[in-house]
């Protein structure tokens, strides 16, 4: 397994597009140009197809997926890690999916109160908060729940585990095409389970299971260790936790993700320098495309 492995044939690959890497709220202005200001969205294209069929989260970055479709309507699945605004509010503005020819399945973590996927999405996407309901978008849309476990989705094997994060049920995902594996934990608050061995939170079984021997670990790094005491109450992890989780789990590469909305480009450069000695740690930007 590995990234751009030379012995892999062209048809045995996954292309990973980072379309939005910011957390909590979009950020705009000249100080956010290099890393990008859109909120969480990662799109996966399988094998030799340039067109993504599996999208992880629907932050404002999902709007950028339309340009990857080559003029076609989106046909695939949007898998939400949880239902906070920054992971959902790009959904109705994804013009490649709001299209008469689109076939879209939206999956959300099943809710402890039994509410349906359509019901919980409609709470924020309906009048008076928004002019249309989710099922009024053009094309064929299906909304359904995802339970912890494993399913085949769009040619990928997807494993879901519940991870701690404030304000609603949150899943981390492990996605594999049978050759390579990507782990996606954009919002994670391990300090909810205690300080852990380093003071950054517990390296708990669900996180370790999702990240074990993965090729790429995309992980919440909204905070730095020195910011945890004041800001962890909002439900996020430190970059130091993400890198140590990757080391403990044997991840091939750790991608620091879900950047603080006021973390300007120069500050993200400093984070990159902080981890410069760890060659397999990178700071996510909207320009990134990884091949597995």
CA–CA separation, 219 and 185 (whole Å): 5
Domain containing 178 equals 14-291
Residue 234 sits in a domain whose CATH number is 3.60.15.10
Task: Give the N- to C-terminal CA distance of the chain in Å, as an integer.
Answer: 8
CA–CA separation, 76 and 34 (whole Å): 29
**What pLDDT, on a 0 to 100 scale, did the predictor assign at position 233?**
81
**What pLDDT, on a 0 to 100 scale, did the predictor assign at position 234?**
84
> What would the pLDDT profile of 168-201 be if each residue is shown by its tens digit?
899 999 999 999 999 999 999 999 999 999 999 9
> In a 3-state reduction of DSSP, which class is residue 286?
coil
285: confidence class by pLDDT, cuts 50, 70, 90 = very high
CA–CA separation, 224 and 239 (whole Å): 6
What is the pTM assigned to this prediction?
0.94
- Residue 8 belongs to a domain: no
Q: 185 Cβ partners below 8 Å, 6+ apart?
A: 81, 163, 172, 173, 207, 210, 211, 217, 218, 219, 220
- Residue 3 belongs to a domain: no
6: confidence class by pLDDT, cuts 50, 70, 90 = very low
CA–CA separation, 284 and 38 (whole Å): 12
> What would the pLDDT profile of 194-246 be if each residue is shown by its tens digit?
999 999 999 999 999 999 999 999 999 999 999 998 988 888 999 999 999 99
- Residue 258 belongs to a domain: yes
User: Quick one: average pLDDT of 72-97?
Assistant: 96
- Which letter does DSSP use for residue 38 in this model? P
How many structural domains is the chain composed of? Answer: 1
> In a 3-state reduction of DSSP, which class is residue 62?
helix
- Residue 90 belongs to a domain: yes
- Residue 100 belongs to a domain: yes
């Amino acid at each position: 397994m590995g990234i751009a492995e030379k012995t892999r044939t062209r048809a045995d690959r996954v292309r990973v597009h980072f379309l939005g890497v910011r957390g909590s709220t979009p950020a705009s202005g000249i100080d956010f140009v290099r890393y990008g200001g859109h909120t969480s969205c990662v799109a996966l294209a399988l094998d030799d197809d340039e067109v993504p069929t599996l999208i992880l989260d629907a932050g404002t970055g999902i709007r950028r997926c339309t340009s990857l479709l080559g003029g076609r309507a989106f046909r695939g699945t949007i898998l939400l890690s949880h239902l906070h605004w920054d992971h959902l509010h790009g959904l109705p503005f994804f013009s490649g999916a709001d299209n008469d020819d689109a076939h879209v399945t939206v999956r959300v973590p099943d809710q402890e109160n039994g509410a349906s996927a359509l019901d919980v999405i409609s709470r924020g996407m309906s009048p008076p908060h928004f002019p249309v309901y989710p099922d009024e978008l053009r094309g064929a849309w299906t909304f359904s729940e995802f339970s912890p476990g494993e399913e085949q989705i769009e040619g990928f094997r997807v494993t879901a585990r519940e991870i701690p994060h404030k304000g609603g049920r949150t899943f981390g995902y492990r996605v594999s095409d049978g050759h390579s594996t990507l782990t996606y934990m954009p919002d994670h608050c391990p300090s909810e389970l205690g300080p852990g061995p380093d003071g950054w939170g517990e390296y708990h079984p669900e996180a370790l299971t999702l990240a074990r021997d993965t090729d790429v670990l995309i992980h919440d790094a909204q905070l730095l260790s020195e910011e945890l005491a004041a800001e962890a109450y909002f439900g996020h992890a430190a970059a130091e936790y993400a890198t140590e989780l990757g080391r403990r789990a044997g991840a091939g590469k750790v991608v620091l993700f879900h950047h603080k909305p006021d973390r300007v480009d120069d500050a993200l450069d400093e984070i990159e320098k902080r981890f410069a000695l760890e060659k397999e740690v990178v700071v996510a930007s909207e320009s990134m495309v990884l091949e597995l």
